[in-house]
């Protein structure tokens, strides 16, 4: 028995491929019933880390502790983890029923017990009545449900999902991520979800872990990751961000942030004593305000349906502004000069 602070505890994990450190001294505690997403750019180590937890990559060093037991020395089939791969890895010559039953056959469970477990797993993913079909007769979303059922039938302690929605169209992705969240809540599942889609991670997760070059950049709730990124990498990787470099000075009872191109007045006191700061403001936090002292030229307008993104040039600075497309909205075009106003409590990095 190894002491640990989470239901799944990762302790100083390291994995290198030649000179590349894919996983660099990573330690994480994950609670029972928690859905945690790993996100980051290609090559950041998120899939390597997931596979190391599942036993598909041998670690160079570190410990993986699940429910009080160290499992990093065990093969995948003895770890009580279930892995859903990006391509689902279904057996094309087997029916849905046989695909889901396969792991139970390997365990040599009695036929009647297997039947009950398979039917239960198919019901959990809402595929009752699909047992006689083959994978080629299913939609992408249905194939993904079969892959999940094949894991659920073995009653894993942790479900590992490696970009399971990447092969689906946009609308089906939304439906399936809601299904994954439903399963997590109904079955009290502990899930690690790897994705390159930041919106997907923010919408589905209890916590998000942002990785870059094999190291953790931030672990936090989706809201804090978005509103209070730990550094410039997180700010620009998760969503879109305006980053302004300047000085903060006290001006009477409030503060003024000054860049080379403009000054933002009447700000709340920053939670830092540094004078030189980087201000992070999301595009939707900036309002178009004609009587603002800060004015710029629209150099680009991008129609996105429910909002319009304006690229506004203020001096030599390009400011991204998202304006929600409501009925009373005024549409601006390239060459228009407009005023913009900033929130009085921006995030500083």
Listing DSSP states for 132-197 in one string gives T--GGGS-HHHHHHHHHHHHHTT--SEEEEESTTTTS-HHHHHHHHHHHHHHHHHHT--EEEE-S-
pLDDT in tens, 224-247: 999 999 999 999 999 999 999 999
Local confidence band at 328 (pLDDT 50, 70, 90 cut-offs): low
Q: How far apart are CA 202 and CA 198, in angstroms?
A: 6
Q: How far apart are CA 119 and CA 156, in angstroms?
A: 17
In this structure, the number of other CB atoms found within 10 A of the CB of residue 252 comes to 8
Helix (H, G, I), strand (E, B) or coil at 198: helix
Q: Please state the rounded mean pLDDT for residues 84-94.
A: 90
- Mean of pLDDT over the chain: 94
Q: How far apart are CA 266 and CA 255, in angstroms?
A: 6
List the alpha helices (DSSP H) in 32-110: 46-54, 96-106
Residue range 8-237 forms a domain whose CATH class is alpha beta
Q: How far apart are CA 35 and CA 53, in angstroms?
A: 15
Fold of 242-348: OB fold (Dihydrolipoamide Acetyltransferase, E2P) (2.40.50)
Residue 3: its pLDDT value, please?
A: 43
Domain borders along the chain are 8-237, 242-348
- DSSP result, 305-334: SSEEEEEEEETTEEEEEEEE--TTPPP--T
pLDDT in tens, 114-162: 999 999 999 999 999 999 999 999 998 899 999 999 999 999 999 999 9
Q: How far apart are CA 132 and CA 123, in angstroms?
A: 14
């Amino acid at each position: 028995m190894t002491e640990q602070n989470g239901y799944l505890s990762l302790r100083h994990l390291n994995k290198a491929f030649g000179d590349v450190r894919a996983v660099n001294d990573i330690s994480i505690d994950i609670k029972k019933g928690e859905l945690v997403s790993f996100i980051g750019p290609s090559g950041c180590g998120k899939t390597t880390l997931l596979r190391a937890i599942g036993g598909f990559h041998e670690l160079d060093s570190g410990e993986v502790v699940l429910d009080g037991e160290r499992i990093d020395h065990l093969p995948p089939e003895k770890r009580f983890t279930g892995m859903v791969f990006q391509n689902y890895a279904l057996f094309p010559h087997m029916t849905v029923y046989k695909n889901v039953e396969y792991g139970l056959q390997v365990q040599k469970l009695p036929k009647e017990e297997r039947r009950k477990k398979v039917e239960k797993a198919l019901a959990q993913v809402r595929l009752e009545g699909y047992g006689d079909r083959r994978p080629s007769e299913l939609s992408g979303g249905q194939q993904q449900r079969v892959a999940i059922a094949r894991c659920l039938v073995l009653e894993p302690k942790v479900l590992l999902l490696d970009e399971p929605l990447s092969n689906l169209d946009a609308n089906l992705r939304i439906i399936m991520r809601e299904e994954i969240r439903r399963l997590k809540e109904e079955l009290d599942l502990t899930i690690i979800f790897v994705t390159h889609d930041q919106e997907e991670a923010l919408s589905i997760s209890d916590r998000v872990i942002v990785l870059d070059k094999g190291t953790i950049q931030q672990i936090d709730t989706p809201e804090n990751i978005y509103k209070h990124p730990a550094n410039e990498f997180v700010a620009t990787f998760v969503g879109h961000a305006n980053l302004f470099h300047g000085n903060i000075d006290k001006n009477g009872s409030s503060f003024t942030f000054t860049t080379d191109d403009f000054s933002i007045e009447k700000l709340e006191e920053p939670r830092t004593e540094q004078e030189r700061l980087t201000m992070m403001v999301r595009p939707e936090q900036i309002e178009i305000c004609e009587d603002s002292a800060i004015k710029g030229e629209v150099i680009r307008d991008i129609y996105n349906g429910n909002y319009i993104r304006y690229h506004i040039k203020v001096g030599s600075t390009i400011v991204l502004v998202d304006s929600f497309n409501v009925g009373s909205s005024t549409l601006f075009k390239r060459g228009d000069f407009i005023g913009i106003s900033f929130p009085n409590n921006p995030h500083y990095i």
